[in-house]
Structure formats: structure tokens, C-alpha cells
Amino acid sequence: MQTVPVMCNFVPVILFGRHQGTTMRIGLTTAALTLIPTAAFAHPGIGDAHGFVAGFAHPLGGLDHILAMVTVGIFAWQLGGRALWLVPATFVLAMAAGGALGMAGLPVPFVELGIAISVIVLGAIVAFARKAPVAIAVGIVGLFAIFHGHAHGTEMPLDATGGTYAAGFMLATALLHVAGIALGFAIGRIAHGRAAYQLGGSLVALAGVAILTHVI
């Protein structure tokens, strides 16, 4: 007669134990889910990816950078020959050097001024279709690239790694050069290509003046 009450007394204990186990599992699962983002962002691979994305996005986030880099591609197309690859390659490499200076905190004077002037000069060169010697063309774009690279380097996020950040903005720049070369090729194939070069280059130069005077 006493066994039934004893067994019944165990039922709340068993249910309470199961409830505690469920609560503990829920708590552990919640804690694990809370820690996953922290662990992910602490992983070096995620940090590298963040640096690459930030670097890739930086040239695409400024009108001055886009105009200058696309115009370098058009300029290279106009020159033709070995300038077609040498001019953009020089820009990318010189920009990387300027970026290294910026990341190291080494100052370069008149960076913003140099960037604005680069847009004006490159636009004017394309508009007037000046067939400059390759050495002079390389010197011009190399000088301007240092200013652009320094701006990229100084604005590197604190949680980004220098190598992956630089790889990002170098790739974005190279793609903008390719876009400029493709645009130059397309303009050259239309009936009034010369006028299109003049119009496009003039608009780029005017945009550079607007950037210089802080109108845009």
C-alpha cells in the first residue's frame, strides 16, 4: 500500500530534473550562439577578409579616385603600344608605395590637392589627346598615384591588416583601369570618337575643378 505514494512522489522529482536539464541545454545553446560572432571576428581569416573588402571599397567610394583611375585607363588606350599595360601598372605600383607611406604614418604634403589636380590634368590630357612619350606618361601617372595611395593608406581601418587592405585597393584600381581601357576602346570605335574624347575629358577636368574648389 505504501509503494504507490512513494512512486508518485518521484514524479515531480523526475519532471523537475528534466526541466532543469532542458533549461541548462537552452542556456548552453544561447551562450554558444552568443560567442560564435565573437569567435568568428577574432579569427584571422575573417579579419583578413574585412581588410580586403575595406581596401577594395575605398577607391570605389570617392568620385575623385574613380575619375582619375578610369581616365588613366583611357589615357593608356590613347597612347597604345606598351603604354597600354605600362601606364596602368605604374599607377598601381606607385599607389601601393604611397599606401605604404600612409599606413606607416609618414606624411606626404598636399595629398588632397594632388588628387584633385590629378583629375584635372588627366581629364585635360584625354580631352586634348596628347601623345606624350611613354616615359613622361609613366612619370605623370606615377606621381599622381602616390597621392591616391597615401589617401588609401591613411584611411585604413584600425582592425584591418595592411597586406590584405592594400591588395583590395590595388585590385579595385586595376579593375577601374581595365574599365577605362574598355571605355577608350568603345569611344574609339564610334564615328565621332575624337569629339567624345574631348567631351569626356573636359567633363572629367571640370569635375576635378569642382573637387578642388569643394563644390562637389
CA distances from 78 to 73, 83, 135 (A): 9, 9, 15
Residue given cell 613622361 in the structure block: 136
Within its chain, how far is the Cα of 22 from the centroid?
Answer: 48
**pLDDT tens sequence across 97-147:** 999 999 999 999 999 999 999 999 999 999 998 788 999 999 999 999 999
H or E element that contains 86: helix 83-103
**pLDDT tens sequence across 167-190:** 999 999 999 999 999 999 999 888
Q: Can you give the pLDDT at residue 139? A: 97
Domain assignments of the chain as residue spans, ordered by start: 1-42, 48-212
**pLDDT tens sequence across 43-79:** 334 456 788 999 999 999 999 999 999 999 999 999 9
Nearest C-alpha neighbor of 170 from the set 118, 98, 105 = 98
